[in-house]
Structures are given as structure tokens and as C-alpha cells.
Structure 1
Amino acid sequence: MSYALLVEHFEQLHHLQHLGAICGWDQATMMPPGGNEARAEALSTLAVLCHRQLQDPCLGDWFAAAEQEPLAPEQATGLREMQRAWRDATLLPADLVRQLSLAGSRCEHAWRSLRPANDWAGFLPLFEEVLNLSRQAASARAEALGLSRYDSLLEKYEPGMRSARLDPLFDGLRGWLPGLIGEVQEKQRGEPLLAPRGPFAIERQKALGLEVMRLLGFDFNHGRLDVSAHPFCGGVSEDVRLTTRYNEQDVTQALMGIIHETGHARYEQGLPAALRKLPVGQARSMGVHESQSLFFEMQLARHPTFIARLAPLLDTHFGPQPAFAADNLARLYTRVAPGLIRVDADEVTYPAHIMLRYEIERDLIEGKLEARDLPERWDQLMQRYLGLDTRGNYRDGCLQDIHWTDGSFGYFPSYTLGAIYAAQQAAAMQRQLGPLEALIAEDMSPIFHWLRQHIWQHASLQDTATLMTRACGQALDPAPFRSHLEQRYLG
């Protein structure tokens, strides 16, 4: 009886979150600028309503009673995940939730115009408010959970992950990644490379993206593709909203962005339908979520065999040109060159961008770094990891990401965790199904079936370590990631 009441309560919460997700998507894609203040207030009110739903005084009694009821294993796991969501909600007062939502909406909306204007001075006071509120939230979470402030936020995105595990992981990457970047650049130095000649009409780029999404199995009955300042995958499993951004001079950028977000979307669409309204039916962690987008983008779409399938599609949509030859496209999509922009980075230099952000956001939350000093620290680490100068270039430096604008601190490590998990999944898949190139060339459905069977259908029924161990034979292991990079880029 109590378990049934909890299910009804959390399904109602899901409906509120559904509305919030679609309103947030609209805010980022179609809403006229003049609507932002009203939308920010509406979303903050909705955030408080969701928070109150999770703080309902009845829940404690229902949880206690449900623990005494005879539950099936799936229900017992579902109860555990509802309790985890309840615990997280009770850590913060409703007023702090409202303030953080409002400040985040304002900062994120202002960022859209301040970043193109390279206006750090205009951004700073808005960001300082978000950071101050995020520190308050981290302190409240840390005290209740017995964790450091940063680990208490990391727990939101990567349950069970701690800085003590991330630090040696990134230390290991620092030991071999710079050398690999240098070796690959030296190897590629003499390779011929033709850049596609534009312009490439946005409508044709969108048509190409939609065709590739169909090739990758995206269900358009339950989702759509739009444009935003920063690509993302949002909405809910039944109605997934993908966005990308287009550049008429570069057809390669948006296409890989669409493929990346399609990986997120296929995971969402593949979650168990019967459980989607409950916490146990949601994605396991952001690292697992990123593993799906990076599997699609890096393991699959940048594979030479997949690129050979892309080449004729580019010819069809834009007309033939030498740059669209499969071997040239393969070189384009595997070109390694340190750059300023994370979302445009190749997969070899990408982890360096994440290490930079991890160090900065950890120190911001722990109070070891103030917002006003962010540009200087950014430039120091960009010089150290990628040899690039960002002094005075805030747009392509510390203003380039959307995550911190709404207080999403603790999220960035998920990208590198996702790359590692994706490599583990690819290695396990090849052990079980055979070489990826044969599957990509003929029929990719076994690839998607494997992901559904081993990752998607399990949602949050297992913790991340168990999920990965059962799927791949080990929990978190960077060795397959290193092997993948060395094999693809050094041969």
C-alpha cells in the first residue's frame, strides 16, 4: 500500500519535471528574448513545486512502511532510488532552490549575448551570484552527507564517484596523454588534408543531420531536432529534444554534434518504458549518459567504415567535391590539433579540456578560487595542458561553456568518465560480436541491440560499477580508452 502511494507521488513529480524540461528547451530554442524574465520566474516556481513534492511530510512515513512490505527485487531497487531522490531534496531549503533556479536562469540567458560580446565584466556579477548560491547548496549537502563540498555536488551527477577516485584517474591521463598528442601530431604532419568548401546552407545541413539520425535509429515519433546556442539533449524519454548549432562555412561541426546528441537521445528512448516516470527508470549517471553520446560520436561515427557511409550522403546533399572523399573525411574527423573550444575538440585532446574544468570547478566550490580570478587560472591551465593563450579572449576561454551559468558544478568529469566507459563498451562489444567495422558496414542493429541489452534497459536498476562490470567485465578502467586512442591514431 505505501509503496503504491510512493509510486503515484513520484509519477506526479515526473509530470511536473516533464513540463519543466519542455519549458527549458523552449527557453533555449524558440522563446523570444523578452520572455526570459517571466520564464525564469515560472521555472523557479516550478522548481520549488518539484522540491516541495520531494519534501512532502508524508514521504518519511511511507518509506518506513514500504520497507516492511513484501517487494519484488525491482520494486526494492525502485524504493532505494526514490529514497535517494528524497534524501537529496531534503538537503536544501526551498528558498535556496528558488534563488538558485532564478539566478541560474538569469545568468544562462545573459550568457547567450555576453559570450559573443566577449563581455566578462558584464558576466561576472551574475556568475558570482550563481557561485555563491552553489557554494551554499554544496555546504548544505556536504554537511548532511559527510562529504567535501565538491564531492557532494559530484554525487548529484555521478553517484558514488569521489575526488579521491578522480584525482589518480586524471593523474594517470597526465602521464601519457601529452606524449600521445605530440606523437599523433607528428604522425599527421605530412598527411594531405582538404577542407570542404562552403558555404553549406543550413537547411541542407539539417536535412543531412536528419538522415543520419534515421540511420542511427532515432525515433522521430518521440523526438525532434532544433537549434540552440549550445547543443544539448533535453525533454523526456517520450519526447526527446535535440539541439545543435550550424556554421555555414563548416559542415563537419554540426553533423558530429547531431550524432553526439543522438547518442544521448537513443539512451533516453531506450530506457524501460514501464519505469520512466520513476527515479529507477532514469539514466544511471551522467557518465553513463555521456558514454552513449561518445560511443555514437567517437567509437561509431569517427570509425573509417562509418565515414565511408557518410561520404556519399555529403555528396548527395551538397554536391561532390574532393574533400568529401572517404579517406579525406577520415583524416578530417581524426585530425588532432589543440584548440580553444571544448565542444570542437578532437577525442585525443578532449580529456585535457575536462581536466582543466575539473580543477577549476573543484577549487571554485571549495573556496580556493574566486570568480574574479577564473580567467587567469583558465589561461594558466590552457597553457599547461594545450599550449594555448586565452588572455583577453573570454569568449573562447572561460565563457565558452553553459554548465556553470546555471550552477551545474560537478558535471564536467562525466565527459571523461563517459569516454572511458564508451571505450570499455566498444571493447566488450567486439569481444562478443566481432569487429565493429563489419557491423558498421553491413547492419548496425546488433550494435544498438547490444547497447539496449547491456546499458539502456537497466536504467538505474544497477549502480554504475555493477552495470559496467556486468556489461564489460570491469567497472572503471582507462586501459581500453588508451588502447583505443593508440590504435586509431598511431596504428
Structure 2
Amino acid sequence: MTAYASLAGHFGRIAAMSNAIGVLQWDSDAMMPKGAAGSRAESMALLRVLQHEMAVDPRIGDWLAEAEQDNRLDDWERANLREIRREWIAQTALPANLVEASSKAISACEMAWRQARADSDFAALLPYLTEVLKLEREIGAAKGAKLGLSTYDALLNDNEPGGRSAKIDELFDDLAAFLPDFIERAIAAQTRRSQPAALNGPFPVESQRQLGLKMMKALGYDFERGRLDVSTHPFCGGADNDVRITTRYDEADFTKALMGVIHETGHALYEQGRPAAYLNQPVSRARGMSLHESQSLLMEMQACRSHEFFMFAAPSMREAFGGSGPAWEPEALWRRYTKVERGFIRVEADEVTYPAHVILRYRLEKALIADEMSLAELPAAWNAGMKELLGIVPPNDRLGCLQDIHWPSGAWGYFPTYTLGAMTAAQLFEAACKAEPETLPRIARGDFAPLIAWLRANIHSQGSRYETDELLARATGRPLDANIFKAHLARRYLDAA
């Protein structure tokens, strides 16, 4: 057996372990009864320690050294070696006891967060989140020492390989300067238009679910390899060939759940479209979270908030809820779904105000990781940041710093990928529409095939074959360009007025 074959077999077994962990994590978030939390935490911690032990197997270094000298390997196999080395370096930075402690702390914190969020009680979460943050700092410091990165950049690198906060600072500072005036102009533009009539609920959950399933099918989701469920915070998870998504329902407003379903379907399409020949290898994984978020936001914001989408979807919406009258016409629905409004909740924000939510979280988590502020100061700092960036202050912590699961779940260094993803989505959608001029006309007929085919060829099927910048340049002809995102916002929210 060659060194490369030994590596591929070994990392195939690691992938199988990851799949088991992924399904257990999905179950914890979507189905598990509260009383099982303790035993589940023990099981998850053990599996993660075992996975870590496999990832730091001392034979990996020798196999890598030999395989990297093998001239018979093709481009995919060489890319796989690069990704294996990336993972091996990061994993060997961590001792097993730190992996175990982090897993247990996260399991406890996630359960505490669900109750704290429901009760709007940050104090109840504080001791659990303090432990998670302490361990995340240790993880970031250990990886940073190995990679020559700051603690924060080491955590960012886990989510966005090659990503650096210095570049994000520049992009986000520019956006933070751009947004306040643009938000004002967008709101002013929409007030000059006639406002759509109200959609009168209630909107039964089962009707919402059926509408969501119909839209998932139209987008190309493979129900033979996934399912739709409910969770406190919408997410996409599961395992290879078992890509599950969740949403949450509000009977007073069906738009929230529907766009949540479309967003998570974008993630799922990426996972379902990864290169099958290497599915259990690191090179098959999605190329970082900015690309992953670009796929969800491309569907949710670019394709499914277009005029064309509502030409297709309006009849299904009317049928689902027995709607009639002007409020249910495509133009009125489009105006409702593209309404710019300062709000407290990130996952319900429009695409104009959404980057402000992300910039806030990015700045706060950087300060927390650097120990420049304490967790006890978080609620006040959050409210001050909302005032600065959006001009509003949450009335309670449930609508403020308790709304997201990311920090309790150990996802530090993740938030900036949402807005990087929004920029990337605008650039990819522009390129797709230029390459396939029928993309939008076909969406108006409920046919997403040209768009999905372009994404499959240029993004999904490429896995981690290329680094992020190269993959984007190959797909669009240029590196990430924030001006494309700004131009998109201007066309939709100013020119359309």
C-alpha cells in the first residue's frame, strides 16, 4: 500500500467518525430530550477525543512526507495532501484533554443557552459561556503558536482557511462607513413607494412546512439524502449523504421560516453537490465558511428575493394560506421581502442591515478573545454597538446578545464569514447570470436548473481543490470585490425605487 493510500484510508475512517458526531449533534439540537443532555455530552466528548487521536496519529507525518514525493499523484490527490497536512498541523497543536474539556463545556453551554435565551437571562448563561471562552482562547493560542498566527486568526482560520482579521478589518471598516447613510437612503426610497397591504395570519405551521418543502424541491434539494426539522436556531448539519436542515416557525409571519428554509437549503445544496469521488476525504469538504455562507445567501438573498422568484412563488404562497387580494401579488410580496428595516434579530434582518449585525459580532468576539473586555460587559457592549451601527437598542438580552448559538457552541471566528459570504454571493450570482442569461427568466418559471448547474460546476464539485481566492477567481474572473455587493444593493434598493 502506498503512503497516499494509507492516508486516504486513515482519513476515510476519520470522516466516518465525523459523520457519527454530525448526526448526534443534529439530534442534540433538533430532537434530543433535555434529560439526555448529560449522557450525550459524555458520548460526544469521547467521540471527539477518539477522532482527535486518529487525527494526530504519529504515522500521518511519515505518510505525508513520503506521499508528497510521489510523482504519480494527480492534482486532486495533491490537493488532498495539502488539506490533510492543514488538518494534521491544526490537530497536533491540541492536547486530548483540551479537546475533551471543550466538547463537554460546549454541550453544557448549548443546553444552558436554550433556557437562558427563553428566559432572557444572560446571568444564567455567564458561567457556562465563561468556560467555553476560556477554552477557546486556549485552543486559539495553541493553534496560533503552531501556525504563527494570533489567537483570533487561528480560530478564524478554522472556519476560513487563509482568512486574516487584518483584511476583514479593512473590508468591514469600509462597510461600517458605507452602511449608515445607505440604510437611510434605502428606507427613504421605500417610503416614497406605496406600501403593500398587510398579510393577515395566522399562518399554520403545517402549511408553512409544506410550502417550505415545495420550495426546497424547486431549488433542487435531494430528499433521499436529507430532511427538514425544527430547532431553536436554524442550521444545516448531519453527515455525508445525510444533509439535514432545520427552521423555526412563527404563525404570525410565515416569511421568517420560509427564508430560513431557503437559506439552509443553499447550504445543503453545497453539501449535496460535493465531489462524490472524494467524499470521505478532506479535499471534498466545502472550501471554507465564506463560500458556504455565499451559497446560502445566494439562494436566500440573490435568487429568492428577486422579482422573478416571486413571479414563481406567489401562487404557491396564496395556495398555502388561502390568500387573495393585492397583498398576495408578486410585486407586493417582493416589496415585503425586500423591506429595509432596523431590527434586533440577525437571522431575520434584510440584506442591507444584515452586515451591521455581523460587524457588531465580529468586533465583540475579537475583543473577547483578546481579553480586552469581559463577558460580564457583553450585554452593555452589545447594546452600545447596536445603537452605533443601527440606531436601535434591544429591550432585553433575548433580542440582544443571547440570540445566537454560535458562541455557546464554540463557533468563535465564524461570524465574519456571513458578510464575506454576502459579498461573495453577489459576485457569484452576477457571474452565473452572465454565463447563463436564462438564469433569472427560468427562476420566474420555478426552474433553478441553470443556476444549480453553474454552481455545481464552479463551486460545489470543486470541494477544497483550490484555495478560496483562487476558486472565486476561477468562477468569476476576479478576486473578492466589495463594490459588486454595493452595486447590487444600490440596484435593488435605490434604483428600483
CA distance in 2, matches of 1:309, 1:231: 25
**CA shift at 1:436, angstroms?**
4.3
| Cα offsets for 1:345-384 (capped at 9, x unmatched) | 0000000000000000011111111111111110111000
Which has the higher mean CA deviation after the structures are superposed, 191-200 or 139-148? 191-200
Please show how residues 318-329 of structure 1 align to structure 2 within 5 Å: 318-322=321-325, 323-329=327-333
2:464 to 455, 460, 474: 460
Q: TM-score, normalised by structure 1?
A: 0.98
Q: Which residue of 1 aligns with 2:378?
A: 374
Letter in 2 for 1:480: I
CA distance in 2, matches of 1:444, 1:115: 37
| Cα offsets for 1:270-296 (capped at 9, x unmatched) | 001111101100000000000000000
2:99 to 85, 88, 97: 97
Q: Which residue of 1 aligns with 2:229?
A: 226
CA distance in 1, matches of 2:162, 2:139: 19
When the two chains are superposed, the root-mean-square deviation of aligned CA atoms in Å is: 1.0
Q: Which residue of 1 aligns with 2:22?
A: 21
Q: Which residue of 1 aligns with 2:356?
A: 352
Counterpart of 1:450 in 2: which secondary structure?
helix
Contact 2:339 2:350 in 1 (8 A): yes
CA distance in 1, matches of 2:214, 2:378: 41
Q: Which residue of 2 aligns with 1:135?
A: 137
| Cα offsets for 1:97-150 (capped at 9, x unmatched) | 110110001101111111010111111011101111111111111111111111
1:193 to 189, 192, 196: 196
**Would you say 1:305 and 2:324 are equivalent positions?**
no
**CA shift at 1:318, angstroms?**
1.0
CA distance in 1, matches of 2:354, 2:121: 26
**Would you say 1:171 and 2:189 are equivalent positions?**
no
Q: Which residue of 1 aligns with 2:7?
A: 6
| Cα offsets for 1:379-399 (capped at 9, x unmatched) | 1110000011126x1111000
Contact 2:439 2:450 in 1 (8 A): no
**CA shift at 1:435, angstroms?**
6.2
2:251 to 248, 251, 268: 248
Letter in 2 for 1:24: Q
Counterpart of 2:245 in 1: which secondary structure?
strand
Q: Which residue of 2 aligns with 1:65?
A: 66
1:212 to 195, 212, 215: 215
Q: Which runs of no fewer than 5 residues in structure 1 stay unpaired?
A: none
Letter in 2 for 1:159: P
Q: Which residue of 1 aligns with 2:285?
A: 282
| Cα offsets for 1:80-105 (capped at 9, x unmatched) | 11111111101111100110110001
Which has the higher mean CA deviation after the structures are superposed, 219-228 or 197-206? 197-206
CA distance in 2, matches of 1:73, 1:257: 37
Q: Which residue of 2 aligns with 1:362?
A: 366
CA distance in 1, matches of 2:223, 2:409: 29
Contact 2:438 2:450 in 1 (8 A): no
Q: Which residue of 1 aligns with 2:411?
A: 408
Counterpart of 1:347 in 2: which secondary structure?
coil
Q: Which residue of 2 aligns with 1:434?
A: 437
Counterpart of 1:405 in 2: which secondary structure?
coil
Q: Which residue of 1 aligns with 2:112?
A: 110
Contact 1:236 1:268 in 2 (8 A): no
Which has the higher mean CA deviation after the structures are superposed, 472-481 or 349-358? 472-481
Letter in 2 for 1:46: L
Letter in 2 for 1:5: S
CA distance in 1, matches of 2:62, 2:124: 48
**CA shift at 1:431, angstroms?**
2.0
Aligned-pair identity in percent equals 47
Contact 2:284 2:465 in 1 (8 A): yes
Q: Which residue of 2 aligns with 1:341?
A: 345
Counterpart of 1:404 in 2: which secondary structure?
coil
Contact 1:270 1:452 in 2 (8 A): yes
- Any runs of at least 4 consecutive aligned residues in structure 1 with deviations exceeding 3 A, and if so which? none
Contact 2:153 2:164 in 1 (8 A): yes
**CA shift at 1:46, angstroms?**
0.6
| Cα offsets for 1:263-320 (capped at 9, x unmatched) | 0000100001111101100000000000000000011010011012111001111102
Contact 1:466 1:475 in 2 (8 A): yes
Q: Which residue of 2 aligns with 1:259?
A: 262
CA distance in 2, matches of 1:476, 1:44: 38
Contact 2:310 2:444 in 1 (8 A): no
Alpha-carbon distance change, 486 to 435 in structure 1, aligned in 2, over 3 angstroms: farther
CA distance in 1, matches of 2:297, 2:278: 25
Q: Which residue of 1 aligns with 2:147?
A: 145
Contact 2:220 2:448 in 1 (8 A): no
CA distance in 1, matches of 2:107, 2:334: 40
CA distance in 1, matches of 2:451, 2:37: 42
Counterpart of 2:227 in 1: which secondary structure?
strand
**CA shift at 1:430, angstroms?**
2.2
Q: Which residue of 2 aligns with 1:161?
A: 163
Q: Which residue of 1 aligns with 2:34?
A: 33
